[in-house]
Amino acid sequence: MKIIVPIKQVPETSQVKINEETGTVIREGVENIINPLDLYAIELAIELREEQGGTITVISMGPPKAEIALREAIAMGADEAILLSGKEFAGSDTWATAYALATLIKKIQPFDLIVSGERATDGDTGQVGPGIASFLNLPLSTYTRKIESIDNQHIVVQRLIEEGSETLKMPLPALLTVVKEISYPRLPTLRGKQKARTIDIPVYSGEDIGIPEGEIGLKGSPTKVVKIYRPQITRKGTLLVVKDEKTLSESIDRLISFLEEKKIISF
């Protein structure tokens, strides 16, 4: 079984910043990690390979430093990795990203299954996985929580829906986006780290996979960020510092006066 896992390198959640002029995420000078939700996809792929045999190819689109995330995936247990990188990809929205990754997958096919995380923590859209399935015309299961069975022809999965869950039987090849319930990511092994340090990771440009420059990056992105602004906080508060019995009594009096003024309480 050949499994492909698209992953993304994202900024640490607490450090996400947006360029207000371009509407894109600022990645320079920010610590980056594998998208946490992609770790569950990697783990599921490893578990399936242990059961079914085969190989795992991890792919990503990003700047050259995204290679670090791919090597982390290799350290966890993936067999090989490929990076899409070049200035032409900069500013790609979810449509252009899914199109580029789908084009790469066409180049490295055949495959049996694509497994991706539910969403990326920086964009939080959950659109790239389904987008890849659309470009490749694949059966799709989103929010997949469990694989009930799999063989050479079909896969049976359980996916989350608003009312609970539903079971789907899909022909292979197919694409799954998975939620945290699907697995528990393992730590990299020493052997995996050794392999990750030495393995060659091919880097493809848009030209290498046959995509015209105008179909990727900002030029190829139909989604346009018109304006970004910081909301103004209109609510103001007063901090009452209590140090002793006197300030405690004064604070209580002020609180009661405030509640009476706002007609929340009355005596």
Which residues does residue 5 pair with via DSSP β-bridges, in sequence order? 58
By the 8 A CB rule, do 16 and 124 touch? no
Those residues whose C-beta lies under 8 Å from the C-beta of residue 62, and which sit 6 or more positions away, are 8, 9, 69, 83, 84, 85, 89
Omega prior to 110 cis, within 30 of 0: yes
What is the mean predicted confidence (pLDDT) over 57-82?
95
Tell me whether residue 241 is exposed, middle or buried, using C-beta atoms within 10 angstroms of its C-beta: 0 to 12, 13 to 18, 19 or more: exposed
What is the mean predicted confidence (pLDDT) over 119-136?
92
Average pLDDT, the chain: 90
Those residues whose C-beta lies under 8 Å from the C-beta of residue 193, and which sit 6 or more positions away, are 75
What is the mean predicted confidence (pLDDT) over 212-233?
82
Give the per-residue pLDDT at 29: 63
Per-residue pLDDT band at 19 (split at 50, 70, 90): low
**pLDDT, tens digit (0-9, with 9 covering 90-100), for 82-93:** 999 999 998 899
**pLDDT, tens digit (0-9, with 9 covering 90-100), for 151-200:** 989 999 999 999 899 999 999 999 999 999 999 999 999 999 999 999 99
Per-residue pLDDT band at 14 (split at 50, 70, 90): low
| Confidence check: pLDDT of 12 > 80 | no
Distance CA 228, CA 174 (A): 37
Domain ranges of the chain: 2-215, 237-267
Residue 57 tokens, joined: 């190819």
| Confidence check: pLDDT of 235 > 90 | no
What is the mean predicted confidence (pLDDT) over 64-71?
94
Give the per-residue pLDDT at 261: 87
Domain 2-215 carries which CATH code? 3.40.50.620
